[in-house]
Structure 1
Amino acid sequence: MEYFGYLASVIIGLSLGLIGGGGSILTIPILVYLFKIDPKLATTYSLFIVGITALSGCFSHYRMGNLKIKSALYFVVPSVFSILIIREVIFLKIPNVLFTINDFQITKNFLIMIIFAVLMMAASISMIRESNSQIKSSTTNFTQLSVIGAVVGIIIGFLGAGGGFLIIPALLFFANLPMKQAVGTSLLIIFINSSIGFIGDLYIGTPIDYPFLLEISSIAFIGMLIGSQLSKRMDGNKLKPLFGWFVLVMGIYILIKEIFLN
């Protein structure tokens, strides 16, 4: 299964390069199901892999003029505070076994994967639906963007996800950015959020297998280079619904596996 995991790691970078999100949606299942890593530790690993891969994509999008720094800062500042509070305070206090129904234990790991699957399916719907690409207003609602940033930070802190599958819709509808600018700006936000979350985990002493992380990150980086080049030639609005269907299938699979096949 590890060979499939290494192959699938290319798609992590590919999705980030093409649509500025989806890396964490793929990374968590790859780490848990193909590399057999504990879901809690997988959230930490995901922050590193997705963050470092997103950073590499930022440079190419910066050269293409797709980074909107002001929108990124209004989003990322409140999200960083949310990440730190959730990841370094609340998350540590959640017991490994939450409660038991008959002989079935509801564990922290089970809850992480279930919430992750539900969010994947919810996010997929916004990607599948015909997006309002011709937005009438050209102004950015920075207040709403900051509120959404704080909410996304809570999700990132709990799930160890880069949050691109939530950041992209926020940038499209509240910052009114075109798809390609939303992609580039999303990568910058993902890098900052993921870095903060990972550094926080290092601070509390989470054990890290650095050679493994560097292997996966290097493979994902290759995918990012391919995705960034393809994004120059492809219409991002056409990629979004296609990726949405993929995310929906993945979410349904995780839900079924966790509830019925474990």
Structure 2
Amino acid sequence: MSALLLALGAGALTGVALGALGGGGSVLAVPALIYLLGFTPAAAGAASLVVVTVTSATALVAHAREGTVRWRAGALFAAAGIGPAAVGGLVSRHLPAALLNGAFAVLAAVAALRMLRPAGPRSPAPAPGRASRVAAAGAGLGAVTGVLGVGGGFLAVPSLVNVVGLRMRAAVGTSLLVITINSLTALAARTGSAADVDWSAVGPFAGAAVLGAWDGRRLAARLSAGTLQRLFAHALLAVAVFMLADAVF
């Protein structure tokens, strides 16, 4: 019963982050699955991809109805990450748990510090000559998704704003398309890890995340984006410090 409650609570928090910020859910899901539900890093990565795929796809439908998804830009960005996501998913199965935990902690810390940094002026819309930058950003995001089992929304949103040139609201909606495609690709490459997943825990986790995403969208309408981002960044930084200490010591 306690495991079920933990799965529901962690899933709801994951969904709120995805719904409110367009990303960041998997950065909470992976440590929750490892430290609260006892998953191995490899199994947590596979389970996280399932949760994030289902939640992102559900949230994507809502954003599409509001017209905040830029389908062509999102599809091109995601296409660049499909190959790296598949390769990363295969590579992750052969990496030691301590390395995966340490890399995840460093990535979470970097993401938190970027969120706490004051926002600069928005970059202008990219010119055709920046297509290589868009492809590089998409490929890098796909690789991160594949290796660490994260959707990468906390990286996708700033990339879609600064590299692709989308406004923040459109970047949040479009990031859900990118996350869904990358997560599905990485999950397909992790078929071996999926055998170790406790699906009785993942089901309630995913269900709570889907419901939490709707609450996250409502929360985003009441609080400023800056406030939400700072709250999430501080929580993420605490998780990163804990995971890094655990991996090192």
* TM exceeding 0.5: yes
Q: Which residue of 2 aligns with 1:105?
A: none
Over 3 Å counting, the alpha-carbon distance change for 1:164 and 1:247 in structure 2 is same
| Secondary structure, counterpart of 1:232 in structure 2 | helix
Q: Which residue of 2 aligns with 1:66?
A: 68
Once residues 36 and 223 of structure 1 are traced to their aligned partners in structure 2, the CA distance between those partners, rounded to angstroms, is: 22
Q: Which residue of 1 aligns with 2:140?
A: 151
Q: Is the 8 A contact 2:42 2:193 kept in 1?
A: no
| 2:112 maps to which of 124, 127, 146 | 124
Q: Is the 8 A contact 2:41 2:101 kept in 1?
A: yes
> CA shift at 1:178, angstroms?
2.0
Q: Give CA-to-partner distance per residue, 1:11-39, whole Å, 9 cap, x none.
A: 10000000011111001001000000111
Once residues 253 and 164 of structure 1 are traced to their aligned partners in structure 2, the CA distance between those partners, rounded to angstroms, is: 22
**Residue correspondence of structure 1 range 182-221 to structure 2 within 5 A:** 182-202=171-191, 204=192, 206-207=194-195, 208-221=197-210
| 1:113 maps to which of 91, 101, 106 | 101
Q: Which residue of 2 aligns with 1:252?
A: 241
- Asked if 1:91 is matched to 2:79, the reply is no
Once residues 65 and 179 of structure 1 are traced to their aligned partners in structure 2, the CA distance between those partners, rounded to angstroms, is: 13
Q: Is the 8 A contact 2:14 2:212 kept in 1?
A: yes
Q: Give CA-to-partner distance per residue, 1:167-203, whole Å, 9 cap, x none.
A: 112112112222221111111111111112112223x
| 1:137 maps to which of 100, 103, 124 | 124
Q: So what's the TM-score if we normalise by structure 1?
A: 0.86
Once residues 87 and 69 of structure 1 are traced to their aligned partners in structure 2, the CA distance between those partners, rounded to angstroms, is: 25
Amino acid at match of 1:137: P
Once residues 214 and 174 of structure 1 are traced to their aligned partners in structure 2, the CA distance between those partners, rounded to angstroms, is: 36
Q: How many residues align?
A: 244
- More deviation, 29-38/2-11: 2-11
Q: Is the 8 A contact 1:179 1:237 kept in 2?
A: no
Amino acid at match of 1:135: R
Over 3 Å counting, the alpha-carbon distance change for 1:236 and 1:178 in structure 2 is farther
| Secondary structure, counterpart of 1:225 in structure 2 | helix
List gaps (5 residues or longer) in structure 1: 96-107
Bigger Rg over Cα: 1
- More deviation, 42-51/172-181: 172-181
Q: Which residue of 2 aligns with 1:77?
A: 79
> CA shift at 1:149, angstroms?
1.0
Once residues 99 and 108 of structure 2 are traced to their aligned partners in structure 1, the CA distance between those partners, rounded to angstroms, is: 14
| Secondary structure, counterpart of 1:246 in structure 2 | helix
Once residues 207 and 199 of structure 2 are traced to their aligned partners in structure 1, the CA distance between those partners, rounded to angstroms, is: 12
Once residues 131 and 71 of structure 2 are traced to their aligned partners in structure 1, the CA distance between those partners, rounded to angstroms, is: 13
Once residues 205 and 137 of structure 1 are traced to their aligned partners in structure 2, the CA distance between those partners, rounded to angstroms, is: 42
Structure richer in helix, relative to its length: 2
| 2:45 maps to which of 38, 43, 46 | 43
> CA shift at 1:136, angstroms?
5.1
Once residues 166 and 43 of structure 1 are traced to their aligned partners in structure 2, the CA distance between those partners, rounded to angstroms, is: 17
Amino acid at match of 1:197: A
Q: Give CA-to-partner distance per residue, 1:98-136, whole Å, 9 cap, x none.
A: xxxxxxxxxx1111010000011111121111112x425
- Compute the RMSD of aligned alpha carbons: 1.9
Once residues 149 and 52 of structure 2 are traced to their aligned partners in structure 1, the CA distance between those partners, rounded to angstroms, is: 10
Once residues 60 and 231 of structure 1 are traced to their aligned partners in structure 2, the CA distance between those partners, rounded to angstroms, is: 14
Q: Which residue of 2 aligns with 1:103?
A: none
Q: Is the 8 A contact 1:20 1:183 kept in 2?
A: yes
